[in-house]
A and B are shown apart, each in its own frame.
Chain A
Amino acid sequence: MPQIRFENRTYALNGDESVLDGLTRQGVSIPSSCRSGICQTCLMRAVQGRPPADAQKGIKETLRERNFFLACACVPMEDMELSLPSDDDLPHIKARVVSKERLNHDIMRFRLRPAAEFNYRAGQFINLHHDDWVRSYSLASVPRGEDFLELQVQRLPGGRASGWLHDECKAGDELNLQGPLGDCYYTQSDVEQSLLLIGTGSGLAPLWGIARDALAQGHRGAIHLFHGSRTAAGLYLSDELRALTQAHANFHYTPCVSGPDAPDKIIQGRANAVALAQFPQLKNWQVFLCGNAAMVKSTKTKAFLAGAALKDIHADPFEFGVTPPREESAQAQG
């Protein structure tokens, strides 16, 4: 009989008993509702051992890849070690700052060299631990071809973490990271699919990684990236993004300025509104939304109503100045 390990204890399962039934029988309470593999309340993650295919039916590809499964539908074939979805079990890793460069008046680019191998997907984020604070920052680098981790840190008014990073952190410093986290990244299901990427402020960071990752993986469908800022000065990476449109005919870049100072040739309007006006029909599209939490939330609903399947909408909302986030929820910055 396979055994399962959970929170440092070992449990034996009977015959064709599910993980949920076996744990419940032995007095361990796991959140659950339908007990039929539908409602996804009993989502767990296999830290060791592979969940059987039946236990992963209906869950998002990005979760499936990372060995998430439904406890009620999981009759293990082998010994497994399990955890509930949380980021507590993620490894900490040290990384040294190799460069610090200003991208615009309030966004700073940091390139870090991790002390050990660090496997991640472009678009995921890390938690940065320093003194008594923890903040989440998206990775703007791509794992293939770039041997550094890149963060693009926006200075927030009165933000302790972003203030320290901008004013004090310098090349040579060692940072304490935890991750990678989040499921907002490109998975290749259909190379011809159109991709819509919408980001505001430093929400461009994960999109910069995701777009280049998709291109590197040979994505052939159109990739439309909309970057929104309140002011023209808030736009950044414009030259790099324009160069990318030159290098790849299927990549398109639309900077948008929502305030009144939009310069010539820059569209005046909110990035999400501009994008959805241009593409009102999103059936079979993959959509990536990063940045301001209210923008991400409302655009997610709109993209779904415009025809995108829920499994094809990837979102990374940035919450500012809140306590550390949990995996699959919002990023905390500040």
Chain B
Amino acid sequence: MSKSLYERIGGEAAVNAAVDIFYRKVLADDRINRFFETVDMEKQAAKQKGFLTFAFGGPHHYTGKDMRQGHAHLVKQGLNDSHFDAVMENLGATLKELNVPAELIAEAAAIAESTRNDVLGR
């Protein structure tokens, strides 16, 4: 059997390397940072680890319903396709910065992209 994307991308170590970079990009991105502003940055970073593990096809128990419920409060605040695109962009830029090969980036992007309707509550 061929290795999973998660294994090929570097597993948990890759998630750990990516999370600060990704979270920093998101906080610096005026298109979306208002969704991520919180008093508890550790908790928020841990959630972004959940996001990255998901996008890397790693072990998780999130379902489409979880994605829908987990972002419903953001949809109420106006979360739409343009914000989703911004997150996709930050994900791609993070992996590029970590020198992840383009074809693996494309695979991760496809996994994240597959949640668009759930995340946006449609």
Contacts and interface: CB of A to CB of B under 8 A. Distances in A.
A301 B24 CA distance: 9
Chain B: number of interface residues, binned into ranges:
20 to 34
Contacts, number: 52
Given A34-B61, A38-B53, A309 B46 contact: no
Nearest to B46: A40
- Say what secondary structure dominates the interface of chain A: loop
A40 B59 CA distance: 15
Contact of B20 (A33, A36, A310): A310
A58 interface: yes
Given A40-B42, A304-B27, A310-B45, A34 B50 contact: yes
Contacts of A40: 42-43, 46
Nearest to A35: B61
Interface in B1-59: 12, 15-16, 20, 23-24, 27-28, 39, 41-43, 45-47, 49-50, 53, 58-59
B42 A310 contact: yes
A60 interface: yes
A34 B41 contact: no
A57 B49 CA distance: 13
A205 B111 CA distance: 49
B112 to A, nearest CB: 16
B20 A39 contact: no
Contacts of B45: 310
B65 interface: no
Given A34-B62, A40-B43, A60-B42, A304 B24 contact: yes
Given A301-B27, A305-B24, A36 B41 contact: no
A300 interface: yes
B41 A58 contact: no
Interface of A: 33-36, 38-41, 57-58, 60, 297, 300-301, 304-305, 309-310, 313
30 contacts: A33-B50, A34-B50, A34-B53, A34-B60, A35-B61, A36-B53, A36-B58, A38-B15, A38-B53, A38-B60, A39-B49, A40-B42, A40-B43, A41-B43, A41-B46, A57-B12, A58-B16, A58-B46, A58-B49, A60-B42, A297-B39, A300-B41, A304-B20, A304-B23, A304-B27, A304-B41, A305-B28, A310-B23, A310-B41, A313-B41
Given A58-B46, A58-B49, A313-B41, 8 more contacts: A35-B61, A41-B43, A41-B46, A57-B12, A60-B42, A297-B39, A301-B41, A304-B41
